[in-house]
Amino acid sequence: MIDIEVEDPAWPQALAETVALVLATAEATLASEGAVGEGVSFLLTNDKAVRDLNRRFRGQDKPTNVLSFPAPQNPERFLGDVALAYGVCAREAAEQGKPLKNHLQHLVAHGVFHLLGYDHETDAQADEMEGLERAVLAELGVPDPYAAGEGDHDRPRSPG
């Protein structure tokens, strides 16, 4: 089951198909890992709400584009929650010269992959996660979000 709560009306005002895009992208991401039927909850909200979540749960007092909160293993097959901040996402899309639609789909896939246990703490992990994201997004007709260094998501840099 995929649950989507639109808390910030800016999402559907800017992108009428917001809910459909989140649903299709989440389903494709789960299917890519054989996790069809797993539960995920999405909160499409504003920067203030995501900043609060980021401060409370990660100790970082700033808004960010996407946060994932994995659930403990449970019999309901619920993987966890994903929160997306409209303002940050819209600004990033504009700065990177990409449609908000594509950026939203990328961040949904990114958030779901985190719930599935993937991370990007090391270069090897980031390479694996980015490859999985690219594959899912390509199936959905979304261009490579990492082209020209876009969308790095705090990827660690090798010392140099």
pTM over 0.85? The answer is: yes
The residues that bridge with 81 in the sheet, in sequence order, are: 41, 69
Q: How far is CA 133 from the centre of its chain?
A: 10
Q: How many residues does the chain have?
A: 160
* Residues contacting residue 50 through CB under 8 Å, at least 6 positions apart: 63, 64, 67, 83, 84, 85, 88
CATH architecture type of domain 2-149: 3-Layer(aba) Sandwich (3.40)
pLDDT digits (tens, 9 = 90+) for 65-100: 999 999 999 999 999 999 999 999 999 999 999 999
- In sequence order, what are the beta bridge partners of 70? 80
User: So what's the pLDDT on residue 149?
Assistant: 52
Report the C-alpha gap between 27 and 112 in whole angstroms. Answer: 10
